[in-house]
Structure 1
Amino acid sequence: METDLNGGMPPRFVDLKQEIASSYPDFEQRATKAWNEILGALEEVTKNIAEGGSESIAQVNFSQLDSLTPSKIEMIKRKGCVVIRDVVDDAEARGWKDALEEFIKSNPDVEGVPADNKQFFQLFWTKSQVLARSGRTPEGVDLSTPLSYADRFRIRRPGIRWDVHPPHVDGGAIERWQDEHFRMCFADILSGDWRAHDPYDLEGRLNARSSLYGRPNQSTVFRTFQGWLALSETAPTQGTLKVFPDVLMSNAYLILRPFFRPRVTEDPKALLDPENWAFDIATPEFPGIFPRDGGFAGPRPTPALHPHLRLEQTMISVPAVKPGDMVFWHCDVIHSVEEEHTGKEDSAVMYIPAVPSTPQNEAYVKRQFDDFVKGVGRPEDVVNLLGRRAMGAPVEVM
């Protein structure tokens, strides 16, 4: 059954919109001015992204991270996504993939999807995963005290259609507006000063509640960047990651979108005209947010609900990667997985996010390590001091 992404929100969310509007002086005037500016800026931004293709995504070598120029750093931050080459030796990464394949071959009953041809595995503590998390310090995060939490891996087979990860944003749905701390992250956008929005400002993020409704499979750690390590060669059209590479523009648009409705809906071209949009806080809809599992999922932008993003042209596949390369994307970046895998070999990645040291995250990794040593993992597989610190091991274990 297709999910209704533009309806079914409870009437009480009218009150939420009006509460937000009353929190900012001259909200209607300032939001309308900002909305029109954002739509104008998106016209140029989306054109450049579509023309640039995979070259729109930043690429650096692991050995160059200490010598990046300020302009390169600012470019990476604006795009919100980066490919980091040669983080792990190719042979070592391939060896981890071989070990994963042997494990799932020896344990055919492990949980995975799709059920009839498992490719995305609900496994967190295999030796390969523990070695990969603890043997290297992933970049793109706070390097002073990086922490890591357990995540899964995928080994995607060629020719299998994959439609379970359309364009979306992780880490909180209606919570972005409903939770007061989370809303603080977007205060500049809501006040009309959208160009001043800093997606990397920690104020609000540290105490933001991204799961108010206790939905299953919701992350409760604070993630700055999501990421994966390539275990095979994968190129565009071969089942790889796609992103909208401008986190400032996508945040500005998505956060203000609920406060405007189209005056016309039949003409797709007319939808792009700012004159055909009206300020609206009398309806409960938050386009791209939808009820699920007793709470709300999303944001899931679509061409119909978010036409100015031009998602058909601007969801860009990351460049070709080799085993040992890593890809990181900001927690607010719109991302998806290619539906088609036209290659001849597996497209395999291991998800290895890293998180900064915060009280919330310190408590999480401590609970995680306690579970780890209860039998689901072997402490001796955590191979170095930084790795043990990242995994939440107590000092005496180090």
Structure 2
Amino acid sequence: MAPDKTGPLPERFADIKKDIAASYPEFQERATKAWAEIIQALGETTASIVEKGSEYIPQVYFKDLKNLDRETVDRIRRVGTVIIRDIVDDAEAAKWKEDLKTFVKENPDVDGFPEPNKQFFELYWTKPQVKARSHPNLLAASTWLNQLYHLKSGAADTTLEGVDLSVPLTYADRFRIRHPGQVWNFHPPHVDGGTIERWEEPNFRKCFSDILEGNWRAHDAYDLEGRLNARTSLYGRPSQVGPSHSAKYFGSVLTNAKSTVFRTFQGWLAMSETGPGEGTLKTFPDVLLSNAYIILRPFFRPICSGDALLDPKNWEFDLSSPEFPGIFPKDGGYGGPHPTPLLHPHLQLQKTMTSMPKVYPGDAVFWHCDVIHEVEGAHDGSDDSAVMYIPAVPKTPMNLAYVARQKECFLDGQRPPDFPKGTGEKGWVGVGAVEDVTSQVGRVAMGLQA
């Protein structure tokens, strides 16, 4: 686990809490009742998570996506994490890994870390990455995930203007080929896609209105209202951390990428076998409970310590403090949320952070944009753990605008807009080109065709 991060946060953050409290009727009474209910529900869920382990994570096959029963779909929505198997042929995905290794060998100056044994690469436009992102099956899986979202009943139809959940877009990201034996502890439990903005930014706050009203069980993490216009970065922090920071951050903390697009699910495609204990992803497998707890946590402070913290009677309502536990100053803005055992004891992260089941080349892991996630610190397997990061991105005005800028970077061999400036890939051996995007859906997704 990462060290617990604290402020100092500006005193005006206390005003954010007071403004929220003033915006909801009987806020203290309703929030206090909800807080106790959430803590009880977390205790019950923790027991089930511990009992089932990795099997708690839903697993489905790509070919079955259109025919899944309601119970399975509801389970995926609640857990917020899913393994989709056999999206790409095993041999094709495994070959992509070998082709990426060849690319790195033929272009030895590529940026990556750790030095001198690079395993995480600042590469975006290699042929395997371009082919994988534009693969019809990957985009079909993305569409299925996007369509788990919906517009809240009764909201104005104009909210969806320019939005089409049936049209997937691409978001160019990187890849890793992690070697066994290397300890990585720069991805502790965290949530991406916005920090203090969850409370401060009015549109983003709408996503959690039911929780703030005390009606936390009605919270729908898949409601589009608020998501489409949410400003997830108010402070102009750098979008992503690049390899130039690796000397500072490798062995410590490297998290909270500031994506400027709306990703319904983050995800990666496996290019190797990877299982628990082999450097895989871990998630907190209940997006309803984690959202409810994290959003209400700043309004309560403990009045004791130790095991007694688990009793909701040992917490009191408090609007006086500017602290938002798990949020901390960073890069001229704020990082987090970084839930920790000390600051968020009821999540029982030591027990509940759940490793993904064993995956094979061509399988993919996807996790909801609000899900708490981390990367296993140890890779105790015998082979490389290799994945390409490919999220699910729907067509929205904001996302289309980003893809248009991203396309220009692709055509010029430069890094995408959300990522740190640095050496591009133009002219390198094995870089992808427009002709590597062979499907129509792939061309649309990459902004190459209307």
> TM-score scaled by structure 1?
0.97
Q: Secondary structure at the match of 1:328?
A: strand
Q: CA deviation at 1:50?
A: 1.2
Q: Are positions 1:10 and 2:10 aligned together? A: yes
2 CA distance for matches of 1:392 and 1:49? 41
2 CA distance for matches of 1:361 and 1:151? 15
2 CA distance for matches of 1:172 and 1:7? 17
Q: Secondary structure at the match of 2:268?
A: strand
1:7 and 1:374, CA in 2 relative to 1: closer, same or farther beyond 3 A?
A: closer
The match for 1:356 is: 394
Q: Are positions 1:163 and 2:201 aligned together? A: no
Contact 1:189 1:256 in 2 (8 A): yes
Match of 2:146 among 141, 146, 161: 141
Q: How does 1:236-315 map to 2 (within 5 A)?
A: 236-265=276-305, 267=306, 269-315=307-353
Contact 1:148 1:355 in 2 (8 A): yes
1 CA distance for matches of 2:49 and 2:70? 22
Q: CA deviation at 1:383?
A: 1.4
The match for 2:120 is: 120
Give aligned-pair identity as a percent: 64
Contact 2:173 2:389 in 1 (8 A): yes
Which residue identity does 1:237 align to in structure 2?
A: G
> TM-score scaled by structure 2?
0.86
2 CA distance for matches of 1:335 and 1:108? 32
The match for 1:47 is: 47
Contact 1:93 1:230 in 2 (8 A): yes
Which residue identity does 1:390 align to in structure 2?
A: A
* Structure 1 gap ranges (5+): none
Which residue identity does 2:389 align to in structure 1?
A: Y
Q: CA deviation at 1:9?
A: 0.8
Contact 1:6 1:305 in 2 (8 A): no
Aligned residues between the structures: 392
The match for 2:375 is: 337
Name which of structure 1's ranges 252-261 and 98-107 shifts more when overlaid on structure 2: 98-107
Listed one character per residue, the Cα deviations across residues 60-96 of structure 1 (whole Å, up to 9, x for unaligned) are 0011001100111001000000000000000000111
Contact 2:4 2:343 in 1 (8 A): no
Q: Are positions 1:228 and 2:268 aligned together? A: yes
1 CA distance for matches of 2:268 and 2:11? 39
Listed one character per residue, the Cα deviations across residues 248-302 of structure 1 (whole Å, up to 9, x for unaligned) are 000000000000000012x2x1000111001011000000011000000111100
Q: How does 1:82-231 map to 2 (within 5 A)?
A: 82-136=82-136, 137=139, 138-139=141-142, 140-142=145-147, 144-216=166-238, 217=240, 218-231=258-271
Contact 1:4 1:290 in 2 (8 A): no
CA RMSD of aligned residues (A): 1.1
Which residue identity does 2:288 align to in structure 1?
A: L
Which residue identity does 2:220 align to in structure 1?
A: D
Which aligned runs of 4 or more in structure 1 are off by greater than 4 angstroms? none
* Structure 2 gap ranges (5+): 148-164, 241-257, 414-425, 427-431
The match for 2:416 is: none
Q: CA deviation at 1:141?
A: 2.3
Q: CA deviation at 1:6?
A: 2.5
The match for 2:23 is: 23
Name which of structure 1's ranges 75-84 and 102-111 shifts more when overlaid on structure 2: 102-111
Q: CA deviation at 1:112?
A: 1.3
Match of 1:382 among 430, 437, 446: 437
Contact 1:110 1:121 in 2 (8 A): yes
Contact 1:365 1:391 in 2 (8 A): yes
Q: CA deviation at 1:332?
A: 0.3
